[in-house]
Structure 1
């Protein structure tokens, strides 16, 4: 009887196992990783030769899949076949495809695993990053969206910040950053050291460096299109965790079978506990600013009052409604905030205070509708608001001017609508036609006051208020001939109300297979930008957030116009991937203030241009669970202004001639480790040669503009993580991670400038000329812990 009962239980268990359903989300995931997860989820064993599944990847998702369904999908996307031996045991064999076209039904041509898992390159030239599937990267304990992009060739961050992305010679304000269709005007926390986007509710990040589709506009450098999850889960899912700078929480909850809500929140805890990570970042951020320089003048015992308060937070909410198979409606909301308050008082009657608040909030609604399998439309409306509010004051009885007060406000209102139609004419031709409306209102105000000892308080006010409405009509055409040829051609026409004229933007991207493992690619585009940042010098002593958003007026601030041509090759075979891009780029409409020159003679509005000639090379090799890649970028970025450097071209402010990265990553069971080496040439600067003092003050003789360079930059970073289960049924999973930035503790010099300041001694006013150096992060450890359910 016991034997019969045992057999009955085993049969029932196997039957239940065979009928078990589970959720899968694979985005260009290595087949080896998929097999490991299948064995765990369905309690099966797969026998195979490891060489059989090497360099194979799958992409599919399902909220309620059987084992047989998953195996069939894998067979369709690879050259393997599953043979069932028993209820639990399977073997994997090679299969020869009968129909060559059967393996080419992907929506787009995809280059598998561009750098590591979770990163792939598509046929339209974009690179797509999936944070949930992202492999470990050096120096990161968590998948920071913007810092991850810095590992791509041609992407640099001279200031060592997350959001300070210089793409092929462009500046950060020239990058179009969208979150669920909302334009972002502030994309960083802690003065750009950390991305302002929560990676754990991000579905994918689409990144363009050239040949962008015509539906993207208003920026001249790159496109970073971030989309949060659109899936309705069957049950409540979520996660929470912390690292040494902040903690976060996210929840994905179904309201019904057709409605779901996704919410997330992150907040720093630096106002409660200052970790070693935060302290090291603070040294990097606040060096050479007004309040840190002021504190250096005193010993610790000489400071009477000290208040240091800083924190950042962000939260998102999203509602997903899928009333039927043809419609999807989403409501998205994003809010970010950074707040700083610093003040101190010294025993020598000096008082300094700085307060700053930065907001970026937005809302969007999107309706996607499929009329049939060939024609669809998308309608979206968004609102974005950026608000920077700074106030600072200082009081010193020893100076002739005893009170300084400064307030600064920069507000951006951006409202827009977007309507796009997509028509799949046939298997090889696709056409999109759309319209966009964008309305910008930007306000800037600076109040600068001072009071001479025993005199009256004087206030100067500088303000500007502008608006512009942009109507854009565009069309995108795509031709696909299997994996041999893909062509994207587009045209965008922008009508700007403040200029009362049209600006035309042709776009082109071509990719063709010229040999079995070799592809040729080229792209060309013309872009325009009416909103940009300039350097504001009046509050330069503070040293942070001295850039403001302004609208082009055609006089002092012209519209930016960029023309770019890119040509290259890609090769892929036997685990080797080689990608080469050469490009030439010109940007007209620069002003000296948008580039931020430090010399006083350059603090006027001068028009200019930049010419960029660059080469990006990527070489990657994958051997089982080990990956290594080398990337090299060579950039020659020249500025030309008629009134600067006698009109002769000179190196751009952040011209990095040579940039070399070497990255390694290795996975073993649930353990992952990554090591990265980052070496580049130093940035240019203008050197002060001679300083003479006469009756009129200091007379400084400078070298030619940007004719000198800082020492080379060298940094080694390390990351490691381990995943484990917290429950027997694997419903609760955890991950612990550790990272070390700048292992060798190199003191890299990031920037050099000069400053004049006055001080009073024995009733006489003296002037001092000082060299200001800004250094990189020192050795900075970080630790993270996460739980997912």
Structure 2
């Protein structure tokens, strides 16, 4: 048998190659890319249709499409996508030959309201899958925010995403912790995507092309996190000529330049810098001496055919420097680079690859603080990722991929005893995946497997690390489709933070401690979506997440030798409803979530602080005149859990009684807390409004905007200071303005 095995493999390979050759010799393929005729930007999710045949395809994330196994002949091929004028071209196919047919589409003059609701580019991804949302640049700009537009703040309108503070862009997805979210920026893994205090993200919306948000059961190829994926794709610079813009608001100033570099190439530079820490202080309601910057640089080239290469560089930094010697200073830095490429090396295999590197570092200088100690942390992550798409037939797509990642983490701190401590670790994270998409009768199948090879090599359980991912979609009536998904996920890294902290300022990443299993979760999702009317789309989903293993604090730690962490479990479940509609020049959006989250820490079962029972977002966007846009957004959320203070007792200090009389000891009050997170804060509600006007003056495009947050000045409780009893509310009535000039 051993001697025959290689021969059998060789024969099978020859037969497969021969069958492919015969099939291709009798048929022909049509392939190409869809681009913007002006900017040369690739257009994803464009509909490519061969008239009169029922055949077609959608362009992928880099604008590539392929329609295999067409009979020889003459055809008319039509491409259409929202925001562009459709284009038809004649195709003459000859037996055994592939035809490259590229399309350059002219942008259509459309109003923003046509993007939010009709959104066929998004519907291609969301109508057959669960737990996926696609936002584009126009969507992000529609949502009112404080001082400046922000990508992660905009995601809070999506169902299943909650934040414990309206002055923070940090969020929690379907009952998962904050460190269970994976952030990708053109393939760069970003470990801290926030500016200081989490008020804003370091992703500038002006460089974003689209954002894919997976809130559960995400497909193979995404791993290392338990809850969600935020996959940000940036746009290319304009290839038709030099262009630029400058903008300023109460918080920051921004400048952007873009233009052609050389043949079929373009560049983009965007930089943003804070201009006043007073704005931060006004937003947060306390003195915050904060400054920040971020910058994005991208070079894109399309040397010919369907080839494309990009280089993206991301950099951001923050400083929180207090004038008081009793308050710590903080600093954060993020730097990353991604080199990406795509090509069609063989007839029906499309290859995409990315080489990436990311460095995150943070420092805390305690100075003379009595409540904090000095600490520093860093994460370095370098890797290579490759994905191959195999086009075998009209109904079948195969995806294969691998990734080699090399993250290293370092955390230095001073413990309560004053001793310097260091936790350092390096991981090797190879992973592979395979995915199959097909149409079986009326049912659409998207199934695959994701294998965390690195965890397997380090003793991980095969049933945890060999992870099935499956999504099924079936038409039930008219436009209505029933959907279901399942996925298994693991995570080998976590942040060191107190889960009860109101605001987390310093995040340090460590690996799962030795002796504890990798964190693991299973996602189950059921959905139903369809059109209530011609201009009304509804999506209903129910989910259940089982956390088979979590890393939780050891609340029974008494001795220094006791472990800091132990294994816990958890679960979350709920229902989400999304409704999009259009009435005349108004766009209507509503999202409601009903959810529960529970953590089991060695028998102590409690609701985590981000558990929110009810969450409702309502938004209406109006476009009454050319260039004039207005938005109203109302948000309601039931109260978050917290532990009540039930009393105090005087704790001896033994600082002035040894030796001596104990009755003369100076004692300090010690707080006693009730059952963990058994009480709830009051409900939260807020109305935000924004209005903008775009006009062309001379050779400049001018945009002026006004945002008002908390229009009716709702007094939403943030927390009570347990020491002083002072009430601290969230953001009060806050107006802000912006001005952008583009040429």
TM-score by length of 1: 0.73
| Alpha carbons of structure 1 residues 23 and 536: separation in structure 2 relative to 1, 3 Å | closer
User: For residues 197 and 680 of structure 2, what CA distance do their matches in structure 1 show?
Assistant: 25
Find out whether 1:511 has 2:473 as its counterpart: yes
Aligned to 1:295: none
Find out whether 1:782 has 2:733 as its counterpart: no
Aligned to 2:303: 323
Using the TM superposition, give the Cα deviation of residue 393 of structure 1 relative to its aligned residue in structure 2, in angstroms: 2.2
User: For residues 631 and 335 of structure 2, what CA distance do their matches in structure 1 show?
Assistant: 35
Q: Is the 8 A contact 2:260 2:267 kept in 1?
A: yes
Within 5 Å, give how 1:596-607 maps onto structure 2. Answer: 604-607=564-567
User: For residues 223 and 750 of structure 1, what CA distance do their matches in structure 2 show?
Assistant: 28
Aligned to 1:747: 715
Q: Is the 8 A contact 1:136 1:674 kept in 2?
A: yes
Using the TM superposition, give the Cα deviation of residue 76 of structure 1 relative to its aligned residue in structure 2, in angstroms: 9.0
| Alpha carbons of structure 1 residues 130 and 478: separation in structure 2 relative to 1, 3 Å | same
Aligned to 1:54: none
Aligned to 2:637: 680
Find out whether 1:641 has 2:598 as its counterpart: no
| Alpha carbons of structure 1 residues 652 and 130: separation in structure 2 relative to 1, 3 Å | same
| Alpha carbons of structure 1 residues 426 and 118: separation in structure 2 relative to 1, 3 Å | closer
Using the TM superposition, give the Cα deviation of residue 258 of structure 1 relative to its aligned residue in structure 2, in angstroms: 2.4
- Specify which of 503, 508, 513 is matched with residue 553 of structure 1: 513
Q: Is the 8 A contact 1:27 1:133 kept in 2?
A: no
Q: Where do 5+ consecutive residues of structure 1 fail to align?
A: 1-20, 30-57, 63-71, 83-111, 287-291, 293-307, 345-350, 396-402, 450-457, 755-768
- Alpha-carbon RMSD across the aligned residues, in angstroms, is 3.5
SS at structure 2 position matched to 1:129: strand
User: For residues 543 and 671 of structure 1, what CA distance do their matches in structure 2 show?
Assistant: 37
| Alpha carbons of structure 1 residues 423 and 739: separation in structure 2 relative to 1, 3 Å | same
Using the TM superposition, give the Cα deviation of residue 773 of structure 1 relative to its aligned residue in structure 2, in angstroms: 5.1
- Specify which of 290, 298, 316 is matched with residue 310 of structure 1: 290
Q: Where do 5+ consecutive residues of structure 2 fail to align?
A: 1-36, 46-58, 64-76, 88-113, 654-666
Using the TM superposition, give the Cα deviation of residue 693 of structure 1 relative to its aligned residue in structure 2, in angstroms: 2.6
Find out whether 1:714 has 2:685 as its counterpart: yes
User: For residues 378 and 622 of structure 2, what CA distance do their matches in structure 1 show?
Assistant: 46
TM-score by length of 2: 0.77
Within 5 Å, give how 1:555-574 maps onto structure 2. Answer: 555=515, 558-572=517-531, 573-574=533-534
SS at structure 2 position matched to 1:545: coil
Using the TM superposition, give the Cα deviation of residue 128 of structure 1 relative to its aligned residue in structure 2, in angstroms: 1.8
Find out whether 1:527 has 2:489 as its counterpart: yes
SS at structure 1 position matched to 2:393: coil
Find out whether 1:490 has 2:492 as its counterpart: no
| Alpha carbons of structure 1 residues 171 and 118: separation in structure 2 relative to 1, 3 Å | farther
Q: Which moved more, 1:633-642 or 1:115-124?
A: 115-124
User: For residues 120 and 76 of structure 1, what CA distance do their matches in structure 2 show?
Assistant: 11
- Specify which of 119, 122, 128 is matched with residue 120 of structure 1: 122
Aligned to 1:422: 389
SS at structure 1 position matched to 2:577: strand
Aligned to 1:4: none
Aligned to 1:757: none
Aligned to 1:55: none
- Specify which of 352, 359, 382 is matched with residue 378 of structure 1: 352
User: For residues 372 and 541 of structure 1, what CA distance do their matches in structure 2 show?
Assistant: 54
| Alpha carbons of structure 1 residues 134 and 543: separation in structure 2 relative to 1, 3 Å | closer
| Alpha carbons of structure 1 residues 485 and 239: separation in structure 2 relative to 1, 3 Å | farther
Within 5 Å, give how 1:78-89 maps onto structure 2. Answer: none
Using the TM superposition, give the Cα deviation of residue 141 of structure 1 relative to its aligned residue in structure 2, in angstroms: 7.1
Using the TM superposition, give the Cα deviation of residue 404 of structure 1 relative to its aligned residue in structure 2, in angstroms: 8.1
Using the TM superposition, give the Cα deviation of residue 657 of structure 1 relative to its aligned residue in structure 2, in angstroms: 0.5
Q: How many residues align?
A: 626
SS at structure 2 position matched to 1:704: coil
SS at structure 1 position matched to 2:142: coil
Q: Is the 8 A contact 1:119 1:129 kept in 2?
A: no
Using the TM superposition, give the Cα deviation of residue 681 of structure 1 relative to its aligned residue in structure 2, in angstroms: 0.7
Using the TM superposition, give the Cα deviation of residue 143 of structure 1 relative to its aligned residue in structure 2, in angstroms: 4.6
Find out whether 1:431 has 2:437 as its counterpart: no
Using the TM superposition, give the Cα deviation of residue 160 of structure 1 relative to its aligned residue in structure 2, in angstroms: 2.1
- Specify which of 273, 280, 283 is matched with residue 282 of structure 2: 280
Cα displacement string for residues 157-198 of structure 1 (whole angstroms, at most 9, x for unaligned residues): 112245312111112211110001000011111321112111
User: For residues 519 and 744 of structure 1, what CA distance do their matches in structure 2 show?
Assistant: 40
Q: Is the 8 A contact 1:685 1:752 kept in 2?
A: no
User: For residues 527 and 510 of structure 2, what CA distance do their matches in structure 1 show?
Assistant: 36
Q: Which moved more, 1:470-479 or 1:308-317?
A: 308-317
Q: Is the 8 A contact 2:329 2:365 kept in 1?
A: yes
Q: Which moved more, 1:655-664 or 1:155-164?
A: 155-164
Aligned to 2:174: 168
Cα displacement string for residues 124-144 of structure 1 (whole angstroms, at most 9, x for unaligned residues): 443221115656223467652
Cα displacement string for residues 33-54 of structure 1 (whole angstroms, at most 9, x for unaligned residues): xxxxxxxxxxxxxxxxxxxxxx
User: For residues 352 and 586 of structure 2, what CA distance do their matches in structure 1 show?
Assistant: 41
Q: Is the 8 A contact 2:41 2:238 kept in 1?
A: no
